[in-house]
Each structure stands twice: as C-alpha cells, then as structure tokens.
Amino acid sequence: MKIKTSGSLGKRILAFLRSLFYEETDSPEVKTVKVVSYTVLTVIAVCILLSSILFSALFEERETVSVPNVVGMTLDEAMETMQNHFLRVKINRVNTEDLTEKGVVVSQTKTPGSVVKVDYTVVLNVGKGPVSDKITDFSGWDIDDVEPFLKAYQSQLTLLYPLSYVVNNRPRGTVLGQDPPAGTEIYGDISLRLFVSGGPDLYRTSIENFVGKSYRETMLTLANRNIAFRFTAEAPQTRQSPFTISSQSVEPGELISVFEGCVFNVVPPTYVSADRVFGLVSAAVERPRVPVLLKVTRTPVNQREEDYFSMQFMSDVISFPYYDAPGTVYTIYMDETPVTIHQVAK
C-alpha cells in the first residue's frame, strides 16, 4: 500500500511539472499566465544573481585596503592614519642627518597605493636625528649646553654627575676637558666625565665653629659641603663630653680651600661598652689631579652595605672616627673603585 501511494504521488508531481511548461494545447488564458510567471521568475533570478555579485564585491573590498602615504607625517599622525585604514604598524627608529626629521616618518616598507589585506603590518622608519660616531670636543662649551646636545645628537653618551669643577680663571661653567677625549669612537653606551671651570674663587669657603658638636654631625655637614676634614682623637685638657669636637685647626669664619680642609679633634670616650669599639679610619691616598667622588660605606656584621657619607675629594688623606660593633666593615671608594677596607677589631 505504501509503495502504491508513493508511486501515485510521483506521478502527480511529474504531471505538475509538465503543466508548468508552455504547451500549444493550452488555452490563451493559461498561456498568458505562464508567460507572466516565467518573466517574473526570470527577473527575480537576475536580481538575486546581481545582488550576490555586488555583495561579493563589497565584501572583498572590505577585506582589502589601499596603503596610504604617511612619509613626512609625525609618528602620531602616521599611527592615526594607519589605524583609520585598518592597518597595523611596526616602528623602526633610524638615524637621519636632518635634525628636523626627528620623530617624523622618513620611509615606509609598503609602497603607497598598494592593495593589501586588512590588518596588514606596515613598517614605518621614523627618524631619531643625527648621531655622531665620535665623541664631540666640548672644550670651551658652556656646561648648560652640553646636556641638550647629547640628548639630540649623541644619545649614547651619559653625562656623569656630580660634575668635576676645577679652579680656573675662565668663566664658571666653561668646559675645560673631558674623559673620554674628543674623537673617541662611540661603541654602545659611554659615560662622559667633564671637567668644568668653577672660577678663580672656587673651593674657597669659611667654616663655622664646630666645637661642642658631635663628630657625626660635624662630619656629615662638612661632607655635604665638600669640605675636606681630618680627625684626631686626643683627650682634651679640660673636661668635655665624649664624641664631641674639642678643637679645630681653622678659626670660625676664616677662608680656606675646601680641599685643604680642617683638622678636628674628637673627645674619646672614657668608657666603652663591651659590644662597641671607638677608633679612627685613616688612609693615605694619591692626591687626585681633579676632584673625584669619594664614597664611604658601612657594612655591619651579617647585614647589607649602606652609605656612610660621600663628597667631592681632592686630598691625600682620608680620616674619620667611628664607634661601632666589632666586625663592622668600612669601605672607601674613589670614583666607584675601592681603595681602603677597614674592619673594626676588638
């Protein structure tokens, strides 16, 4: 029964499809209906085909984009332009001879007008200004002009601070010399030390009266002012408090050279606790030709190294007192190089 029903349905479908075609035996009304129906169906099919073609073209256009020309734009302008065109950007910094090209796109890897896919990465070469391959001669320059020049033209050089000032008759701030010297080839990052005129009266100063003050306060005050000092530890004839200054070799207000400095006597303690030692760190060194950075560190037992004091130094003796636990280490550095290590002993 099912097979018969299926065959009957097939015949009906076949008969319906045959009836759709134009036949001479059809009545005029049927012929007209068929012509109109076929025409409408043909128009609909053509519209669907054209819509598909147009949609495909529009979709393809959205998947590709024309690369814009951003040469001559600032980096911010170029980035915005590329983002508006749905393109990615990779930045490559390049040296240029013209300072005005610093921060400007000087070239791009994809030719403007090229058609690429959306999200394509374009490499932009951005100028970073001219960079010399040799260290400039800064002799005679004003020190205030050096730092801006280094940032613009020789960014691989780092100016060392504090600056090394020298007594000289040339105007204060005039560069007198440098290390490394002018003409040195630049390979990688280099630290540049400049020797600068401080004028004829540089490093001459007066000091106040430190008698009665603690040796620690005296030492830190002098170090902060880069005034050289030496200490002795002799018991005074009159009764005075331990660890204070009993005398100084220069009268208050007297003008002295900061590198010659002053000698101070500290009153030694009459009683020392069992876990402390009083003494002097004293070391003779070769007198530097120009001021150098002197740094003293203190390292307690089983603890980290810590700064004790630092200053500009151009003398031949380093001397300072301490009151500390046995085993504590004091290290003296000159321009970051250790020259003396003193360990407190019981």
Look up the domain containing 181 and give its range.
Answer: 143-197
Q: Are residues 170 and 269 in the same domain?
A: no
- pLDDT reported for residue 1: 44
Alpha-carbon distance 227 to 24, whole Å? 125
Q: Which residues of 122-138 are buried (b: 16+ CB within 10 A; e: fewer)?
A: bebbbbbbeeeeebbeb
Q: Are residues 22 and 38 in the same domain?
A: yes
CATH number at residue 106: 3.30.10.20
- pLDDT reported for residue 4: 47
- pLDDT reported for residue 302: 94
Instruction: Return the SS3 of 216.
Output: helix
Q: Are residues 224 and 338 in the same domain?
A: yes
| Residue 175: Cβ-neighbour burial (10 angstroms; 0-12, 13-18, 19+) | buried
- pLDDT reported for residue 70: 93
Q: Are residues 190 and 208 in the same domain?
A: no
- pLDDT reported for residue 31: 65
Helix or strand holding residue 146 (H, E)? helix 143-153
- Among 274, 269, 283, smallest CA distance to 333 is for 283
State how many domains the chain has: 4
- pLDDT reported for residue 3: 46
Q: Are residues 212 and 308 in the same domain?
A: yes
Q: Which residues 6+ apart lie within 8 Å of 284 measured at CB?
A: 316, 317
Q: Are residues 148 and 240 in the same domain?
A: no
Q: Are residues 291 and 244 in the same domain?
A: yes
- pLDDT reported for residue 48: 83
Task: Name residues of the chain where pLDDT drops below 70.
Answer: 1-7, 10-11, 13-26, 30-31, 33-36, 38, 55-62, 99, 129-132
Residue 136 maps to a domain: no
**DSSP notation for 240-281:** --TTBEEEESS-TT-EEETTT-EEEEEPPPS---TT-EEEEE
